[in-house]
Amino acid sequence: MNPIHLPPPVWVDTTAGLRALVEDLQQQDTIAVDTESNSLHAYQEQVCLIQFSTREKDYLLDPLALPDLTLLTPIFAAPEIEKIFHAAEYDLLCLRRDFAFTFENLFDTMWAARLLGYAKVGLGALLERHFDVQPDKRYQRANWARRPLPPEQLLYAQLDTHYLIPLRQRLGKALEDAGLCALAEEDFARFARLSLDAPPEPLPCWQTVKKSRHLTPRQAAILQSLCEFRERIARRQNRPRFKVIGDRELMRIAEAAPASLHALSSEAGISRRLVDRYGKGLLRAVQKGLRAGELYPPRHQHPSPAHLERLEALRDWRKHTARQLGVESDIVLPRTHLETIAAENPQTLDALRPLMADIPWRYQHYGEEILRALKEAVRSAP
């Protein structure tokens, strides 16, 4: 790996430093942004670092040291300032969750690379391809809440935004040459709107465990009780749930319904360490689940055979089109739109238009093809 030499970033952890940062950002027409969180190290994830880059400086902002970041609200909402992210969706959700920011005028370098048909779209791959730089991936899973951050971790964070502005320029030129600027702008605007959506109602925690639908109603009630026990421990210890006890272990306990510490090991296969640490609490949770009402997974209405035919026809068309363009299928038509169109079964462009109102470029370029695919599904139906 080539040695990486960058000017030191500006560390921002005071209100005066935040004001100076905002004054600089207000003078820019484009800035790069990234975030680092501590999801692998805490019960409640939070943004622990926000990186900004302009053409002249790199900033590392410490939100753990600053009680109020509302000075940044106009920056993220400003339509005259382009905000460049890489893989923006997660950053946008975290920034909205923790600070209630809203967003206008985005550019996502990962999505731009996907539109261009790049085989590798991770930031490390793009930096190596365009700038012969290879970030150290060891810090992807680091604890960003620790203070002080070591120099190597600070450099990793700085690299996440330092090259984004020149990378955006190169990818933007490639999009322009390929005639894809309008498509990219359509998606970037869609990402900004998605960040405004209210989060969905959380499912009962037993339903979030993989393969839990295969449990009996009584086992599901036990699993729910076990999940609630784990939740209390994780909150009290400020640890991620999976670091308390994993989903697979909870599933085995729910299926075995052990009645003793010995059975936790012999029947559910729980390690001695977990039995010693949480055994009595787990057994109490099992008993609570045995006394609780049975739980059933939600019933979903099964789509009709005609609906399934339309879904399959649209997927086939999308896959064929994506192969011709050298991109992945969701670039041609996002999954949510594909499913909505299959369910609504529009027969005319006028009926299709409102279903694609937020993706007008795709409506213009693929509307007729989508209708033909739907009509093919009708003809091929038994």
Residues 244 and 373 in one domain: no
Q: What is the pLDDT of residues 212-267, one digit of tens each?
A: 999 999 999 999 999 999 999 999 999 999 999 999 999 999 999 999 999 999 99
Residues 135 and 239 in one domain: no
The boundaries of the domain holding residue 344 are: 305-380
Asked whether 58 and 7 are in contact (CB, 8 A), the reply is yes
pLDDT at 303: 87
pLDDT at 380 over 70: no
pLDDT at 381 over 60: no
Residues 243 and 325 in one domain: no
* Residue at 296 is within a domain: no
Residue 66's contacts (CB-CB under 8 Å, 6 or more residues apart) are 12, 13, 14, 15, 18
Confidence band of 195 (pLDDT split at 50, 70, 90): low
Could you check whether the bond before residue 305 is cis, i.e. omega within 30 degrees of 0? Answer: no
CATH code for position 245: 1.10.150.80
pLDDT at 25: 98
Residues 88 and 137 in one domain: yes
* Residue at 200 is within a domain: no
Confidence band of 284 (pLDDT split at 50, 70, 90): very high
pLDDT at 194: 81
The CA distance from 62 to 46, in Å, is 12
Residues 339-343: what's their mean pLDDT? 97
Q: What is the pLDDT of residues 295-313, one digit of tens each?
A: 999 888 888 999 999 999 9
* Residue at 5 is within a domain: no
* Residue at 359 is within a domain: yes
pLDDT at 86 over 60: yes
Residues 325-353: what's their mean pLDDT? 97
Residue 200's contacts (CB-CB under 8 Å, 6 or more residues apart) are none
Residues 104 and 178 in one domain: yes
pLDDT at 66 over 90: yes
Residues 190 and 53 in one domain: yes
pLDDT at 240: 95
* Residue at 167 is within a domain: yes
Residues 31 and 97 in one domain: yes
Confidence band of 201 (pLDDT split at 50, 70, 90): confident
Residues 266 and 334 in one domain: no
Model pTM?
A: 0.91
Residues 154 and 72 in one domain: yes
First-to-last CA distance in the chain? 59
* Residue at 205 is within a domain: no
* Residue at 228 is within a domain: yes
pLDDT at 35: 98
Residue 24's contacts (CB-CB under 8 Å, 6 or more residues apart) are 54, 57, 59
CATH code for position 45: 3.30.420.10
pLDDT at 1 over 50: no
Residues 355 and 242 in one domain: no
Boundary of a domain, candidates 245, 262, 291: 291
Residues 56-82: what's their mean pLDDT? 97
pLDDT at 84: 98
* Total of domains in the chain: 3
Q: What is the mean pLDDT of the chain?
A: 95
Residues 251 and 347 in one domain: no
Q: What is the pLDDT of residues 358-372, one digit of tens each?
A: 999 999 999 999 999
Characterize the bridge pairing of strands 30-37 and 82-85.
Answer: parallel
Q: Which residue in this structure is represented by tokens 């991770």?
A: 122
Confidence band of 2 (pLDDT split at 50, 70, 90): very low
Residues 46 and 170 in one domain: yes
Boundary of a domain, candidates 138, 168, 194: 194
Boundary of a domain, candidates 291, 325, 345: 291
Residues 165-170: what's their mean pLDDT? 98
pLDDT at 3 over 60: no
* Residue at 299 is within a domain: no
Amino acid code (one letter) for 96: R
Amino acid code (one letter) for 4: I
pLDDT at 135: 85
Q: What is the pLDDT of residues 267-279, one digit of tens each?
A: 999 999 999 999 9
